[in-house]
Amino acid sequence: MDRQPIIIAHRGASGYLPEHTLEAKALAYAMGADFIEQDIVLTADDVPIVVHDIHLDTVTDVSKVFPDRCRADGRFYAADLTLSEVKQLRVIERIHHNTQHPVFPQRFPVGASRFEVATLAEEIELIQGLNKSTGRSIGIYPEIKNPKWHRVQEKDISRIVLNLLSDYGYRRSSDNVYLQCFDPRETQRICCDLKSELKLIQLIGENSWGGGDVDYEDFRTQAGLQKIAAFACGIGPHLGHVVSGKVHGELVITDLVSTAHRCSLEVHPYTFRADDLPEYATSLDDLLEIFLEKIGVEGVFTDFPDRAAKFLMDSMS
């Protein structure tokens, strides 16, 4: 590996504080992350906000504040609330939609303290402000969420986000930003139609996740990766796409990373969690060692950026 792998704070330091809050981002910054992730959706008045889903009900108290604003499916959508209304919400630790139980029971207590939804602009200003005051150069790693769904709502989320990024100085491949998306048609559009020069990452999911008409299995082949290399500089696969498990005590490592490298693509897998380990790993350090030292990926998405930073520091000493 030519350079030290990067630590990407997944939704901030989300192992410690409610995801995508400014507090979680400030903590991730202090913990040594190289990049901090922003999942982006739009409000009713087309303001980019930092929330993982187009729904708000699993990470906020929207059902209590605006109980009459749900759609026919019983879900509450960011696109149905103005920014002013979104700012009235209280962010909570993530819960399951059906059971209302916390997804990670040992993390920050649900409903404790006071957190709010941040705009993309607010988060960029926080990170850029910390860069100025600390002398560091920490990057941002936004994701365009559900562009096809946004288009149905008559919202061009990619164009709006690119304009905002440009306003804050993120315009070229040399700028300290990666822009990611699960929809390969949108990633290609950002590159070819919207003429973005930013570093683009093609996220890779599973067909079983209900992502529509995208065949992610095809994008994990050499031919698929070559297609990606025409418009992106890297891929963001799931951990299971890289290591499928163990057989007779031996790791089963796919050829995805080696094939991606032959196509000159970086690989930034997701998600490294100390409290949600795959069965073949005994600890987060064990998992990091497999991916960073044995396989040689260029970056990792983790909810625990401090532990990843310590692992890298210890491995260099």
Collapse the DSSP code of 7 into the 3-class scheme (helix H, G, I; strand E, B; otherwise coil) and give the result: strand
| Interval 162-169 mean pLDDT | 98
Q: What is the mean pLDDT of the chain?
A: 97
Q: Which of 10, 20, 241, 268 is an active site residue?
A: 10
Task: Report in angstroms the alpha-carbon separations of 308 from 25, 39, 283.
Answer: 16, 21, 12
**Percent of the chain's residues with pLDDT above 70:** 98
Mean pLDDT of 183-209: 96
Q: How confident is the model at residue 209 (pLDDT cuts 50, 70, 90)?
A: confident
- Number of structural domains found in the chain: 1
Where residue 114 falls (left for φ over 0; alpha for ψ -120 to 50; beta otherwise) is beta
**Closest among 52, 79, 80, 46 to 159, alpha carbons compared:** 46
Note whether residue 171 is domain-resident.
yes
CATH of the domain at 226: 3.20.20.190
User: 16-67 pLDDT, tens per residue?
Assistant: 999 999 999 999 999 999 999 999 999 999 999 999 999 999 999 999 999 9
> Is the confidence at residue 1, as pLDDT, over 60?
no
Residue 262 resides in a domain: yes
CA atoms within 13 A on the CB side of 156: 9
Radius of gyration of the chain (CA): 19
Q: Read off the pLDDT band of 128 (50, 70, 90).
A: very high
Alpha-carbon gap, residue 9 to 169, rounded angstroms: 21
- What does the pLDDT read at residue 2? 65
144 domain-assigned: yes
State pLDDT tens for residues 92-116: 999 999 999 999 999 999 999 999 9
Q: Which two tokens stand for residue 36?
A: 């901090």
Report long-range pairs for 161-168 (Cβ below 8 Å, ≥24 apart): 161/40, 161/48, 161/120, 162/190, 162/194, 162/196, 162/198, 164/48, 164/120, 164/121, 165/198, 168/121, 168/124, 168/125, 168/128
pLDDT band at 143 (very low <50, low <70, confident <90, very high): very high
Is 52 an active-site residue?
Answer: yes
In this prediction the pTM is 0.97
- Strand 234-236 and strand 266-267: the pairing is parallel
> Could you tell me if residue 19 is inside a domain?
yes
Helices (H), the chain: 22-30, 62-65, 83-86, 120-134, 147-152, 157-167, 184-192, 216-219, 222-229, 239-242, 256-262, 284-288, 305-316
Q: Is 97 a catalytic residue?
A: no
Output the CA angle 146-8-226, nearest 5 degrees.
Answer: 60
Please tell me whether residue 247 adopts helix, strand or coil conformation: strand
Residue listed under structure tokens 């704070």: 9
> Which of 81, 28, 72 has its CA nearest to residue 51?
81
Does a structural domain hold residue 34? yes
Domain that holds residue 126: 6-316
Percent of the chain with pLDDT strictly greater than 90: 95
**Structural domain includes residue 1:** no
Mean of the pLDDT values across residues 188-197?
98
* Average of per-residue pLDDT across 266-284: 98
Confidence band (pLDDT; 50, 70, 90) for 301?
very high
Q: Is the pLDDT of residue 73 over 80?
A: yes
Nearest to 199 by CA among 232, 221, 236, 229: 232
Q: Considering 20, 52, 150, 268, which one is annotated as catalytic?
A: 52
Each residue's pLDDT tens digit, 237-247: 999 999 999 99
Domain membership of residue 63 (yes or no) is yes
Give the pLDDT of residue 316. 84
